[in-house]
Amino acid sequence: MARTGTEELRRRNRAALVEQLHRHGPQTRAELTEALGLNRSTIGALAADLAESGHLHETTGRSTGSAGRPSTLVECVPKAATVTAVEIRADRVRFALVGLGGEVLERAETALDGADPVEAVEVVTGGTARDALESVAAVPGLVDAGVVAHSTELGWAGRDLAADLESATGRTWQVVDTATAAAVGEWSRGDAHESVKLLYLHGGRGLTAGLVADGRAQRGGSIQLGHIVVQPGGRECACGLRGCLEAEMEVFGYAEDIEHATLAAGMGDAAARDGLRRSGEDLGRALGAVVTATGPDEILFGGWLRELYLSAAAPVRSALAETTLPHLRSRLRLRTPVLGDEGALIGAAETGFAAVIDGMR
Amino acid sequence: MARTGTEELRRRNRAALVEQLHRHGPQTRAELTEALGLNRSTIGALAADLAESGHLHETTGRSTGSAGRPSTLVECVPKAATVTAVEIRADRVRFALVGLGGEVLERAETALDGADPVEAVEVVTGGTARDALESVAAVPGLVDAGVVAHSTELGWAGRDLAADLESATGRTWQVVDTATAAAVGEWSRGDAHESVKLLYLHGGRGLTAGLVADGRAQRGGSIQLGHIVVQPGGRECACGLRGCLEAEMEVFGYAEDIEHATLAAGMGDAAARDGLRRSGEDLGRALGAVVTATGPDEILFGGWLRELYLSAAAPVRSALAETTLPHLRSRLRLRTPVLGDEGALIGAAETGFAAVIDGMR
DNA sequence: ATCATATGTTGCAGTCAACAACAAATCTCG
DNA sequence: CGAGATTTGTTGTTGACTGCAACATATGAT
């Protein structure tokens, strides 16, 4: 458990300092002293250490406006530690090289047109991304120890993506599911920092969800929202079950569909409006089960579920109200993500940085 | 975060040693050296510390059978740190005073006959339990920060049990839900130690479930299994919703009922057999949603759900198979608890010890 | 009986963080 | 405009802890 001696202590404190700066941005040494509960002299020594190794940069003399000697500002050097983040969808692969502190240093996107995503990842991460300390891929589906057990969107079952990516790029990869990554992203870089338990719903060609509790994703935390059975014995689903949410929802599957439906509904198309309502109800019912089972205090509607939620909030809420206990419902906030389409990519990078910082301890 | 200096390090190591002994029982100093990764001399110093303070007892010279100087055996002194555990049910209150290392030092049980459980707790914990370092109460229901938000069994909603117990006994209390406590118990003192995610189902006068991931209960981890809606718009439930599992299950509610039903079914009563089957299916369907949302690798059927599972395993399994993805199902083990009725009490005590050991750091 | 083996014990050295005194840089008030 | 107040960085010292190595101890094997 607790490894060894005093140098372990030093490493821990150094890592804590880096983590603090990475998460909360540039701070003065005085603020760091307060935040970490360490002595001024200790902070000084740690900062000197990390400035020497190139992780930190110190800017002297920033006037605070109040009395006293101005404190030196400490900030991360982005290039000192970088992480490769990749988000895989059915139609495209997105890439970002993120530096310590959260700055995006590079960005790229490739359309797939039916090609294997792994090849695209190999191409897009061939440059400076080679220097990255960690590489993380976000995939919409059920992920278990690097293996994509099930993905409606990609049509994979039991694919060892971590191994495939490793043999293609020559580096090790962490694989997370898109929804959990987005939840991590919204928690760490979005507007959900006070959230104790954050449930992120991701609408792609399948429906998945991810849970973050106290800022940490839990092992096996990816939720196949689309395969919650809302209609026992209902329509056959591609997964082999019957009555899955994905199979039962009327308005479903592609961003274009939902746009179409909302446009039509806006123009007074009763059938479209009805379809949206029923879809919202289906979603709300499935959510009821997930909320009862996991007890979140915040739900974010991401991907095309954002549009569905915005145009069918009432049926979602009422179906949810019919299937969850008042206490669970009362503390629940429903809203849309602030990072838009970027959440999963940012969250994947944060997952990588968590590993980097853990590795410093 | 990381508090201060080298004495913090000492405290951490001391706590790690106590935790190791508490969880894995008496061990030799050589084994402790291996397990904690510390130096022999350090283990010696820590053990001397803790022997002085009365937490540990060292037994000299146990012959191992192999060559070399025999290692001294180190074990916890149960009375050195005790925890009060209480399990509250509708009809009775059970109490145990548990010592460091897990030994049960005292035990008591009181029938309620309609009296307020808090009074019973006050009476039963009036003796040596006063010296306990922590007091934990397990309650069947939805618990949030000491407040019982909802309990079908006790008929409570929004009762601040922690405050009530504190004013009755003059000590602070931690409140956990029975199912989560039982899950902790089965994980730490039962047979589920390898389980990554353990889901414990508790059948009392209501149905609750608890989840333990990597041995830790998560904040707000109690699941109101009985209020998973299995039949939208179905029978009215006491909670105000419609179609809850609790309301829909045919054989339900009391240990006597399930005994009656299994007896009748065993004697060839077709109606009873049918009722059991349908109840198993209802349970399986509700479980499907919970499994999809939480992804456990082990499910334990506790309380009277044990009997239901033993006599209706096939319908439970088939309904579960119809509502969960193959991958989630394949790694899932279903079984009954090994601690029987004691799980919640033992788990409550373990929850207390976790706090005690954390407090040593 | 002697040697090999495994473990506890003791003294020493290295490292680290806290503390206190001092230096530096800014603000405020007269 | 200048002296004191205020806040922060710096330096040298101190206390504490763990690791290491040598030694002591207790057992089994030959």
Report yes or no: B289 and B325 within 8 Å, Cβ to Cβ.
no
Residues with Cβ within 8 Å of B212's Cβ and at least 6 positions away in sequence, in order, are B180, B183, B184, B187, B195, B197, B198, B200, B221
Identify which of A189, A192, A183, A191 has the alpha carbon closest to the alpha carbon of residue A211: A183
Residue B64 (CA) to nucleotide D30 (C1'), in angstroms, measures 20
Say how far apart CA A324 and CA B244 lie, in whole Å: 9
Confidence of residue A251 (pLDDT cuts 50, 70, 90): low
What is the distance in angstroms measured between the alpha-carbon CA of A56 and the sugar C1' of D12? 26
Please give the Cα distance from A178 to A300 (Å, whole number).
13
The dihedrals phi and psi of B84, each to the nearest 5 degrees, come to -95, 125
Rounded-to-integer distance, Cα B61 and Cα B58, Å = 10
Contacts of A13 in chain B (CB under 8 A): 2
In angstroms, the CA A132 to CA A330 distance is: 43
Residue B233: list chain A partners with CB under 8 A: 322
Distance CA B210, CA B201 (A): 7
At residue A333, what is the residue type?
R
Name the helix (H) or strand (E) containing B104: strand B104-111
Cα angle vertex B176, ends B360, B335, to 5°? 105
Nearest to B122 by CA among B170, B80, B180: B170
Residue B206 phi/psi, 5-degree rounding, is -130, 170
Q: What is the pLDDT of residue B1?
A: 44
CA atoms of B143 and B180, how far apart (whole Å): 10
A197 three-state secondary structure = strand
- Best mutation target, B244, B292, B332, to test chain A (most A CBs within 10 A): B292
Confidence of residue A1 (pLDDT cuts 50, 70, 90): very low
The pLDDT of residue B55: 96
Q: Is A62's pLDDT higher than 80?
A: no
Contact B150 A325 (CB under 8 A): yes
The answer for B103, left when phi > 0, alpha when psi is -120 to 50, beta otherwise, is beta
pLDDT score of B250: 65
Chain A CB contacts of B325 under 8 Å are: 142, 149-150, 224, 227, 239, 241
* Closest residue to D24 (CA, C1′): B69
Domains (range + CATH), chain B: 5-76 (1.10.10.10), 81-181+342-360 (3.30.420.40), 193-337 (3.30.420.40)
Which residues of chain A from 279 to 338 reach within 8 Å of chain B, CB to CB?
285, 288-290, 292-295, 297, 322-328
Condensed to tens digits (0 to 9), the pLDDT of residues A133-191 reads 999 999 999 999 999 999 989 999 999 999 999 999 999 999 999 999 999 999 999 99
* A200 and A213 Cβ atoms separated by less than 8 Å: no
Q: Where does residue A215 rank: exposed (0-12), middle (13-18), buried (19+ CB within 10 A)?
A: middle
Residues 291-330 of B with CB under 7 A from strand D: none
Q: Where are the beta strands (DSSP E) in chain B?
A: 27-28, 56-59, 73-76, 82-88, 92-99, 104-111, 134-139, 142-144, 147-150, 159-160, 174-177, 197-203, 207-213, 216-223, 298-303, 333-335
Give nearest nucleotide to B31 (CA–C1').
C7
- Type of residue at A161: L
Instruction: Residue A223: list chain B partners with CB under 8 A.
Output: 292-295
| Residue A271 confidence (pLDDT) | 84
Task: Show the tokens assigned to A317.
Answer: 């809420």
| Run of H or E residues at B319 | helix B313-321
Helix, coil or strand: residue B170: coil
| Interchain proximity A9–B6, CB inside 8 Å | yes
Residue A6 forms contact with B (CB below 8 Å): yes
Interaxial angle between packed helices B5-24 and A5-24, expressed in degrees from 0 to 180 and rounded to the nearest 10: 100
Q: What nucleotide is nearest A42 when CA is compared to C1'?
A: C17
- Pairing state between β A147-150 and A142-144: antiparallel
Amino acid residing at B169: T
**Rounded to an integer, what distance in angstroms lies between the CA atom of residue A349 and that of residue A346?**
5
Look at B274 and A32; give whichever has higher pLDDT. Answer: A32
CA dist A202 and A301 (Å) reads 7
Mean of pLDDT values over A231-237: 89
Instruction: Let me know: does B60 contact B72? Beta carbons within 8 Å.
Output: yes
Q: CA-based Rg of chain B, rounded to a whole angstrom?
A: 23
B128 in helix, strand or coil?
A: helix
Instruction: Residue B18: name the closest of B356, B255, B265, B252 by CA.
Output: B356
3-class secondary structure, B273? helix
Provide CB contacts within 8 A for A277, sequence distance 6+.
A312, A315
Task: Give the rounded distance of the alpha carbon of B2 from its chain centre.
Answer: 30
DSSP string, B230-256: SSTT-SB-TTS-BSBHHHH-SS-SSHH
Query: Any residues with CB less than 8 A from the CB of B44 and at least 6 apart, and which?
Result: B29
Please judge whether B1 and A293 are an interchain contact, meaning their C-beta atoms are less than 8 angstroms apart.
no
CA separation for the pair A160, A150 (Å, rounded): 11
- Contact predicate B161/B152, CB 8 Å: no
Structure-token match 């050296």, residue found? B33
Q: How far apart are CA A210 and CA A183, in angstroms?
A: 6
Inter-chain contacts counted by CB atoms under 8 A, chains A and B: 156
pLDDT band of A2, cuts 50, 70, 90: very low
Rg, Å, chain A Cα set: 23
The one-character DSSP state at B341 is G
Residues 1-20 of A with CB under 7 A from strand D: 3-6
A237-251, A299-313, A345-359, B66-80 — which is least confidently predicted?
A: A237-251
The one-digit pLDDT tens for each residue of chain B (361 residues) are 445 678 889 999 999 999 999 999 999 999 999 999 999 999 999 999 999 999 999 997 666 778 888 899 999 999 999 999 999 999 999 999 999 999 999 999 999 998 999 999 999 998 888 899 999 999 999 999 999 999 989 999 999 999 999 999 999 999 999 999 999 999 999 999 889 999 999 999 889 999 999 999 988 779 999 999 998 889 999 888 999 999 988 666 555 678 888 888 888 888 888 888 999 999 999 999 999 999 999 999 999 999 999 999 999 999 999 999 999 999 999 999 999 999 999 999 999 999 999 999 8
Longest dimension (CA), chain B: 73
The amino acid present at B23, given as its one-letter code, is: R
Average pLDDT over residues A32-52: 95
Contact B232 A325 (CB under 8 A): no
Q: Measuring CA to CA, how many Å separate A165 from each of A110, A119, A142, A209?
A: 16, 9, 17, 24
Evaluate if the CB of A218 falls below 7 Å from strand C: no
SS3 content of chain B, % helix, strand, coil (to 5): 45, 25, 30
- Which residues 70 to 109 of B reach strand C, CB within 7 A? 70-72
Helical (H) or strand (E) element with A315: helix A313-321
DSSP codes joined into one string, B50-73: HHHTTSEEEE-----SSSSPPPPE
Residue A8 CA, nucleotide D11 C1', distance (Å): 25
Residue A167 in contact with partner chain B when CB distance is under 8 A: no
- What residues of chain B lie within 8 A of the CB of A227, using their CB? 292, 324-325
Amino acid of residue A53: S
CB neighbourhood size of A259 (10 A): 12
Dihedral through CA A220, CA A226, CA A227, CA A230, nearest 10?
130
Residues 6+ apart with CB under 8 A from A281: A315, A316, A318, A319
Report chain D positions within 7 A of protein CB atoms. 4-12, 15-21, 24-29
Q: Is the CB of B61 under 7 A from strand C?
A: no
What is the per-residue pLDDT for A19? Answer: 97
Residue A130 pairs with which residues in a beta bridge?
none
CA gap B250, B13 in Å, rounded:
53
Can you tell me the distance from the alpha carbon of B66 to that of B64, in angstroms, rounded to the nearest whole number?
5
Nucleotides on strand C with an atom closer than 7 A to protein CB?
Answer: 4-11, 14-20, 23-28
